[in-house]
Amino acid sequence: MYLFSYTIYKYYFFTIKFLLINNRISRFKISILLPTRERSKKFERMLISLLNTCNDLSRVEILLLIDEDDKEINLYNEIFKKDLFKKLDFKIIIKNLKTHAIRNNFLAKKCTGEIIFPINDDMIFISKDWDSIIDKEFSKNYDNKPLCLWIKSNIKYPYLHCDYPIINREWYNRLGYVGSENFNFWYLDTWICGLSMLSGKYIVTPYIVVDQLSANRISKEIDETHLRNINTDKADKDLRIWNETKNERLIHSKLLL
């Protein structure tokens, strides 16, 4: 109940302060970071949802990382050639990197946006004009301090966790990374949310909604990539690492203050 009340109060405090002091909406370039593997169909589905909901494609860049041994590289290339997607700004990198966080951090070094938005290939955009809402929400941070924007997906308590936290450039500059490379696979979003709570440098918006069509809850979404990930002990290892890195999170959260 505390976090429920706190995040609502904080959101409207930010909003009212913005309306009284600044009330000028900036337009930001948005960098979408997307490591993907053997999920060309899901990737295309995500792109279609982006096309159907984005207000201004000209300021969105999509940085895509594909493994060198991905069996679907040719299928991805066919997607890039489709007329439907010619308006999109793709930066495609084919490179073997070990973990999800390392992949996202590598892409972040290549991106040029003021807003950094890590996503997954099984995500779809729901909210219309979500990019314009990003402008409004980050414009409330008129002094350009580090800020993380939590959006809504299909989790029950969006004020406790965000599957797809969005950060600004200053957040990235202060830390020098998007996600902690301590972990084997999971916890990129959990780490960002943990730093958000410790630093207080976040707001939870009710106006941007996405959906994660996860194989964990939708059986028809199960694929080789999902099976490869769950048939390891990475999740247990990452939970142990999370519990062992509390002091590191405290230190890093202070960099955001």
The domain that holds 231 is classified in CATH as: 3.90.550.10
Q: Are 205 and 148 in contact (CB under 8 A)?
A: no
In the predicted model, what is the mean pLDDT of residues 62-85? 96
> What percent of the chain has pLDDT above 90?
83
Other Cβ atoms less than 10 A from the Cβ of 31: the count is: 25
Indicate the pLDDT class of residue 234, thresholds 50, 70 and 90.
confident
Q: How many Å apart are CA 13 and CA 7, to the nearest integer?
A: 10
In the predicted model, what is the mean pLDDT of residues 109-120? 98
Give 108's contacts (C-beta < 8 A, 6+ positions apart): 31, 33, 116, 172, 177, 178
Indicate the pLDDT class of residue 36, thresholds 50, 70 and 90.
very high
Q: Is a pLDDT exceeding 70 seen at residue 248? A: yes
pLDDT of residue 231: 60
Structural domain of residue 9, as residue ranges?
Answer: 2-254
Distances (CA, A) of 195 to 46, 72, 146: 28, 36, 11
pLDDT of residue 229: 67
- pTM of the predicted protein model: 0.94
One-letter amino acid of 231: N
pLDDT of residue 220: 77
pLDDT of residue 82: 96
pLDDT of residue 186: 83
Other Cβ atoms less than 10 A from the Cβ of 204: the count is: 23
Q: Is a pLDDT exceeding 70 seen at residue 162? A: yes
Least confident of 20-24, 160-164, 178-182, 204-208: 20-24
Question: To which residue do tokens 């980050």 refer?
Answer: 138
**Number of compact structural domains in the chain:** 1
Mean of per-residue pLDDT scores for the chain: 93
Q: How many Å apart are CA 187 and CA 139, to the nearest integer?
A: 28
Q: Is a pLDDT exceeding 90 seen at residue 72? A: yes
Indicate the pLDDT class of residue 230, thresholds 50, 70 and 90.
low
pLDDT of residue 227: 63
Indicate the pLDDT class of residue 194, thresholds 50, 70 and 90.
very high
